[in-house]
Amino acid sequence: MNEFDIINIISKNISYKNGVERGIGDDCAVFKLENQHLVITTDMMFRSTHFPEILTPFQIGMRIVTANVSDIAAMCAKPLGMVISMGFDKPDLKFIDEMSKGMNFISKEYGCPIVGGDTNKSKELTLSGTAFGITNNPIYRGGNLGNEICITGTIGRVFCALKILEMSKNGIIDKLKFEKLIEEFPEIIKKLSEPKARVLEGISLNNVVTSCSDISDGLSKDLNHVGFFEIYSKELLKAVPKDVVEFSEKFDINLIDIALNSGEEFELLFTVKDFKNAKKVLKGINTVTKFGKVVESGKTVDGNNITFEGYVHKW
């Protein structure tokens, strides 16, 4: 059983009343207000599966906020605030102090204050956030035929960072080699430990894009939100930074595989009628890369059917 099996069961048993414009199935639920739309999202994280050991308590606090706010950004909405519920096994006051400082630090950057929450006992550190945003034009998933497919920023660093951790955990590299890789690829590690939600990018793209989502589960999986598509690897590689190229060569990993399967990047994946418009509104804010288009049928990379990997919760 995976997360989609569970979601499908729940969806069949839930109905909506007037005012709910979008329910289960997008980055946020959407409520129609008088002149605006309220967007709401929630994201839950566990110590054992979501927070690598290299993360400091401060960075853990940043991460739970960023993951939730990224969904608000994916709706091209402005964050309003959020609440965070916390479960602890053996509460450590110093840990909690540093973690909450991290939450506050990044929430200020996003303009998304933490206004409440709950605490309880749990078997491991458990954080569950719920974020709220506002917009007069919520942007949903699903591009239109002929639209160009684009991504903000870079892609691939998180995959590489997790690969370093995996090699260390499995004994492929020793502690000294691990520390050298951390030192050799600082930006790769930073993308994992301190990712950023693309709030300003989302707001700037609001009146330009035809669809939008954030890259959380891996590009190959998140591309499903677009519909049918053709991806061109030569163009996609323009979004891959130099250090990822160096990493792929060092460990003989296919660069396209890295780009397609790097999750929790929190960049925005969007479709647009005219790429020039997206490039114009993001000038001075972030880089943007066009790497495919929405088509009538098929899901391909350079004409070959794509293999969907990415991350799926399983039981």
198 is in an annotated binding site: no
Cα dist. 211→37, 208, 296, 299 in Å?
Answer: 16, 9, 16, 17
Q: Is 252 annotated as a binding residue?
A: no
Q: What are phi and psi of 249, to 5 degrees?
A: -70, -40
Is 140 labeled as ligand-binding? no
Q: Determine contact, residues 75/225, Cβ cutoff 8 Å.
A: no
Other residues' Cβ atoms within 10 Å of the Cβ of residue 128: 18
Q: Is 71 annotated as a binding residue?
A: yes
Q: Where are the alpha helices (DSSP H) in 129-232?
A: 157-169, 175-184, 186-193, 199-205, 219-222
Please check if 118 is assigned to a binding site: yes
202 is in an annotated binding site: no
Residues 244 and 258: beta-carbon distance below 8 Å: yes
Q: What is the secondary structure of 5-54 as a DSSP string?
A: HHHHHHHHT----TTEEE-TTSSSEEEE-SSSEEEEEEEEEEHHHHS-TT
Distance, CA of 79 to CA of 240 (rounded, Å): 28
Contact 84, 62 (CB under 8 A): no
117 annotated ligand binder: yes
User: Which H helix or E strand runs over 298?
Assistant: none
User: Does 233 show up as a binding residue in the annotation?
Assistant: no
Q: Does 311 appear as a known binding residue?
A: yes
Is residue 214 marked as binding? yes
Tokens of 112: 């998304």
Distance of CA 168 to the CA centre of its chain: 25
Distance CA 306, CA 231 (A): 9
Residue 257, marked binder: no
Residue list for the binding site for substrate: 50, 264, 311
Residue list for the binding site: 27, 41-43, 50, 71, 117-118, 141, 214, 216-217, 264, 311
Residue list for the binding site for ATP: 117-118, 141, 216
Residue list for the binding site for Mg(2+): 27, 41-43, 71, 118, 214, 217
